[in-house]
Chains A and B, each alone.
Chain A
């Protein structure tokens, strides 16, 4: 067999004689970029239309063209294409990150002004249009309680539903569930708010409230659950399907019953993905304004009880402060928005750390 390795075959004609090829020097790309920028600036300001944004856009186009031309001349066509596509992909990434960076910067720069103790430890109770104080304590409480309750409702329900669809469901019923979960994904949040308003606030809540309908944080949590459920079900479903069949069979072959296999082998394996799905759902729910406005009513005072009376939420607080006539209101809105983003970010990071696949370590 060893002779086969050393046998020489005649080289095909298309094969190059050497493996070396001419390369552009390392400074070529930055030099072209600089030249593109200078030319673009000269053109834009020379003609006198547009500003710095146009300069950057024009420079990017010039850079791509210049890079392709230079690489084509020195390195050849294949290499030129490679460089151009790399540059395009990198610019797509920059283009995608720009809005994100812009949002974060806007939030931080505007929200910084009211980032003080007063904001986090007072509510808007008895705060008039001329008072510079006032904070979002009540809104933070509301958001945490509503999203917390919604998560408690949605996560078990959604995961069980996904387990049914993936592991047990056969035929029409499972198909129907998948179909309606897909339909639910498209429900606008205002519709879920109206549903809870009509069903819970107007019909059910009077039973607990001496015959009068009542807003409550719990109603908002219900509306948020309706929004979160399809996200949780679908993402969990996908993650469960990704768990390799040999793992399940390995557990069955040890005489482990199916339910225990799911609980102890399949779910832990899929956990990081499930957590990501749940966090996406939480992030979406935390940012919802309309359902909270419809069924929790908002409010200026601190209300710890989610089952009675009005509650506010951070998203609703932002909406109300942004539309408020007081000259101090916009700063509060910015800080509340910053708080909301930070809250979701912290929750996401915490959840990811908890669900780290390699709790074992290497």
Chain B
């Protein structure tokens, strides 16, 4: 049930500052797409505009059109919470809810959206934790606080929390940047498995990671500080990392810039 995402002329602002300009890109269902580029080039902004998290900040707005299977998510009568349930998000730093146990964290999305039946919640919790490769590590301490887990486990808990609401698309904003190599590997393995069910878009600063996990890669860049970020090149990951068609992409990937 993964969905296709199509961005047309997406431009995002923070107040009067234009962060990204005219982004056009299509993400196919059941693929992993990596967004790479130097800091401040708008990859995270673009990612956050896909599930309407961009507008959470005061003064932030998005222009252009973003469709998910031909429904414009910025339509006037679209329910923001429905969009976010369909397009889940994992953040840079693990952010389990500190007042909730591991179990409560996983089912938070369901529970806070009105699901009460214990059997449904239990089943969803186990399924999500198993999908996130965390079940075996936490099954004996589901009642313990989520904040007591290690960083990598917390991030997998957040992934479990995200997929427990069964979204179509999972956005990941540098999900491994706060983690050690072993936890990173665990999460990359997880992305391979999740690809069967979800469309995944990941922002990463780690080019090896982009090359390892993604099917397609989008390279964003800016001319200079203060300019809006633009999409420079979007192609198969193989192509981007072996034979990019843009000079800028090649410079960035080979480490000559950014």
Contacts and interface: CB of A to CB of B under 8 A. Distances in A.
Interface in B54-74: 56, 58
Contacts of A246: 91, 93, 95
Interface string A229-257: 00000000000000010111111111111
A250 B91 contact: yes
Interface stretch (B16-24, B28-36, B140-148): B140-148
B112 A362 contact: no
A254 B105 CA distance: 11
Interface of B: 51, 53, 56, 58, 81-86, 88-89, 91, 93, 95-99, 101, 108-109, 112-113, 143-145, 148, 158, 161-162, 165
Q: What are the 10 A-B residue pairs with the smallest beta carbon separation, nearest first?
A: A255-B85, A254-B109, A253-B89, A268-B99, A255-B84, A246-B95, A250-B95, A256-B112, A360-B145, A255-B81
Interface residues of A, number: 26
Nearest to A270: B99
A255 B82 contact: yes
A321 interface: no
A265 B85 contact: no
A361 B93 CA distance: 23
A362 B81 contact: no
Contacts of B51: 253
A362 B85 CA distance: 31
| Max chain B C-beta neighbours (<10 A), residue from A246, A247, A360 | A360
A240 to B, nearest CB: 14
A1 to B, nearest CB: 14
B84 A252 contact: yes
Given A253-B88, A254-B88, A360-B101, A170 B158 contact: no
B145 to A, nearest CB: 4
Contact of A254 (B58, B84, B93): B84
A261 B93 CA distance: 19
A254 B108 CA distance: 8
A265 B93 contact: no
B143 A360 contact: yes
B101 A257 contact: no
B203 to A, nearest CB: 14
B26 to A, nearest CB: 23
B82 A253 contact: no
Given A244-B95, A249-B53, A264-B112, A254 B143 contact: no
Contacts of B89: 249, 253
A253 B161 CA distance: 10
B73 to A, nearest CB: 13
Interface string A168-197: 001000000000000000000000000000
